[in-house]
Structure 1
Amino acid sequence: MLVRLLYASRAHSPMGDAELSTILKQSREHNPAEGITGLLCYTDGIFMQVLEGGRDAINARYKRIVSDNRHHDVILLSYEEVGEREFAGWSMGQVNLQRLNPGLVLKYSETAKLDPYRMSGRALMALFHELVSSGAIVCS
């Protein structure tokens, strides 16, 4: 059974490009074996991630994320059973924040600042879909 999970968390300490690249590299190496696909966005000390895959694999990954000391204030924004993947093209895609249009964020949020703690899971998923359509995802 396929599921899609969306969460947000705050980084315990600011992440540089090198640290974020390491996380993405590890995800891209390990996710195919676990059947996990998805997208990652990191901005202003906040992670937002969509994970898709088998229920057991996604639940185990989320459990590891919640207990990972690099994160705090982990919040589950959406969890649903799905008939098909929407982000199957990426073992772990990354949102290119330089292509993030503040007007697009404002379409789904109270302000033009991307803050998942002030957005619904449904709105954040819709934003991710538009980012995919606009080519704002760095492929893996």
Structure 2
Amino acid sequence: MPISRLLYTSRSCLTPDELTVEQQVSNIAARAAIRNKEVGVTGVLVFVENQFIQLLEGEGEVVAEVFERICCDFDHAQLRLVDLVGVKDRMFARWHMAELSGGEDPASPLDEELQNIRFLMGVNARVAVDKMQECLLDCDAKGLLPPT
């Protein structure tokens, strides 16, 4: 079955309430992982400087449906489809929705990597995707990700 890989960015409309924005992003990623598992979608959600960068992988029609739901979600503004390609293999097959987000310390090594990913999105999206995978695998190896 052919796999589609979709990459988009958007500005977050989340505001702190009883949960911080970072906690809300973690909840979004956790809920997405549950829904994505049911439909066979994998990917990663990057959150940096109030911007979402998300990659979805799966059967083309299913990825399109997930993206359409995201487009209708009021948590996003200025949504921009960056890339949609057919691929042979998934890059994020282990994660139905991994999350990479900056923490309290803007000088942390992870935050620096996320800034690089954000910059690369404007220069070369495919290199940004490679960097996302590298960063995710590194965080996983260091035990910085929740169990999948």
TM-score range, shorter chain: 0.7 to 0.9
1:29 paired residue number: 34
Q: 2:52 aligns with which of 47, 51, 54?
A: 47
Q: Root-mean-square deviation (CA), in Å?
A: 2.4
Q: Which one-letter code corresponds to 1:45 in the other structure?
A: N
For residue 133 of structure 2, the aligned residue among 122, 129, 136 is: 129
Conserved? CA contact 2:8–2:82, under 8 Å: yes
In 1, Cα distance between equivalents of 2:27 and 2:67: 19
For normalisation by structure 1, the TM-score amounts to 0.81
TM-score (norm 2): 0.77
Q: Which residue of 1 aligns with 2:6?
A: 5
Residues 1:129 and 1:17: Cα distance change in structure 2 (over 3 Å): closer
- Give the alignment of 1:12-23 within 5 angstroms: 12-14=13-15, 16-23=21-28
Query: Which consecutive residues of structure 2, in runs of 5 or more, have no partner in the other structure?
Result: 103-107
- The answer on whether the counterparts of 2:47 and 2:101 sit within 8 Å (CA) in structure 1 is no
Q: What is the CA distance between 1:38 and its match in structure 2?
A: 0.5
Alpha-carbon contact 2:26-2:99 (below 8 Å) kept: no
- For 1:21 and 1:104, the matched residues in 2 are separated by 16
Moved over 6 A (4+): none
The answer as to whether partners of 1:12 and 1:69 remain within 8 angstroms in 2 is: yes
CA contact (8 A) 2:44 2:56 kept: yes
Residues 118 and 35 of structure 1: CA distance in aligned 2, closer, same or farther (over 3 Å):
same
Which digits, 9 at most, give the CA deviation of each residue in 1:67-119, with x for residues without a partner?
2111111111111101111100001111153542637855x7xxxxx346633
Matched positions, count: 134
2:112 to 102, 105, 116: 102
Query: Does the 8 Å contact 1:8/1:116 carry over to 2?
Result: no
